[in-house]
Amino acid sequence: MTEIWTVPGALDGERVDRALALLTGLSRSAVDALVEGGRVTVGRTVVASRSRRVHAGERVRVAGALPPAGPPAPTADAGVDVPVVWSDEEVIVVDKPAGLVVHPGAAHVAGTLVNGLLARFPDLAGLAGREEQADRPGIVHRLDKGTSGLLVVARTARARDSLVAQLSRRSVGREYVALVHGSVQSDAGLIDAPVGRSDTEPTRMRVQAGGRQARTRYRVEERFELPPPATLLRCQLETGRTHQVRVHLASIGHPVVGDDRYGPRQMGRWQPLPAGRPFLHAAVLSFDHPRTGERLSFSSRIPLDLRNVLEWYRARPE
């Protein structure tokens, strides 16, 4: 069995790996495997390099059955509001509002940050580097749906590789503002506790032996002693595990206000925020520019819904 495509004018001059990925819906890594296996020909010539350019009207053939396409590529949606605070040809910095999912998944197939970004930056469509990332082009780190604040998105393969490497060596600066239940006694501290997935609830994380190393530093910004007592913290991530801040703070007895997943029942029913919206905001983000090496730093003001909670506390009589 041989599959055949004719290169359209819109793909004239493209690399054969990107062109074939767009024509077939396969990930770039799946296309690379076809090229390396000698299964791709252009005209009568077997393609030896995935960087080979194709031209309009050429016939591209793949010998044998195609592999499964994997997750469908997300579509552009101009209706998704994406607050972009900075962008250039390499990276995009977004101030994500609470309630917006970062990328499509089983529970959210559309209406995500990625769908909105594709409408504004169509070049992101070519960045699905591995099959399992076909639905998250350019995404190198995430924020939970209920968490607001800053995240960086790669626009090029170079930027993606650079940002992933910076995250791996922990040189990306990430600070969160969190309001937690109870009075945190120490002015500053370090939570160094491994985080892994629950055996009974795969979408729930917990501190557990054998989990991945996770470190969160915190310092107290403000204390509210009148009931219900709470503490405003500034948290610095040294690692970036799923739900890390929420899990770590809950593990020391101070779950994030509004966190209906990790906040224990005994904290009471006081809920000043919409369901699923914890008082957690990614306020500071810094990283080295992938091309220039310049250190870039961005800050985001606490959103109105969170400021209102703080004002409620500050307005209470002594």
Residue-wise pLDDT tens digits, 4-38: 899 988 888 888 988 888 888 777 778 888 888 88
Least confident of 26-30, 165-169, 248-252: 26-30
161 and 174 within one domain: no
**Is the pTM of the predicted complex or chain greater than 0.85?**
no
Q: What is the reported pLDDT for 236?
A: 98
Q: What is the CATH number of the domain that holds 160?
A: 3.30.2350.10
Q: What is the reported pLDDT for 166?
A: 95
Q: State mean pLDDT over 246-258.
A: 96
Q: What is the reported pLDDT for 11?
A: 86
Kindly name the residue from 144, 187, 192, 260 that is annotated as catalytic. Answer: 144
114 and 56 within one domain: no
Residue 43 burial class via C-beta count within 10 angstroms: exposed 0-12, middle 13-18, buried 19 and up: exposed
The tally of domains found in the chain comes to 3
Least confident of 181-185, 244-248, 314-318: 314-318
What share of the chain has pLDDT > 90, as a percent?
Answer: 65
Least confident of 128-132, 175-179, 277-281: 128-132
Domain end call among 122, 149, 165: 165
Give the residue numbers spanning the domain of 91.
72-165
Q: State mean pLDDT over 261-284.
A: 78
Cα dihedral across residues 149, 104, 167, 253: positive or negative? positive
In Å, what is the CA distance from 66 to each residue of 58, 63, 287? 20, 8, 39
237 and 311 within one domain: yes
145 and 29 within one domain: no
175 and 156 within one domain: no
303 pLDDT above the threshold of 70: yes
Domain end call among 134, 165, 196: 165
Q: What is the reported pLDDT for 130?
A: 44
115 pLDDT above the threshold of 80: yes
Q: State mean pLDDT over 214-219.
A: 98
196 and 149 within one domain: no
Q: For strand 148-154 and strand 45-46, is the pairing parallel, antiparallel, or unpaired?
A: unpaired
181 and 305 within one domain: yes
287 is written with which tokens?
């990283």
Residue-wise pLDDT tens digits, 120-136: 999 998 885 444 467 78
Element (H, E) at 84: strand 84-87
314 and 190 within one domain: yes
Q: What is the reported pLDDT for 132?
A: 45
35 and 128 within one domain: no
- Catalytic residue list contains 144: yes
- pLDDT, greater one: 81 or 36: 81
214 pLDDT above the threshold of 70: yes
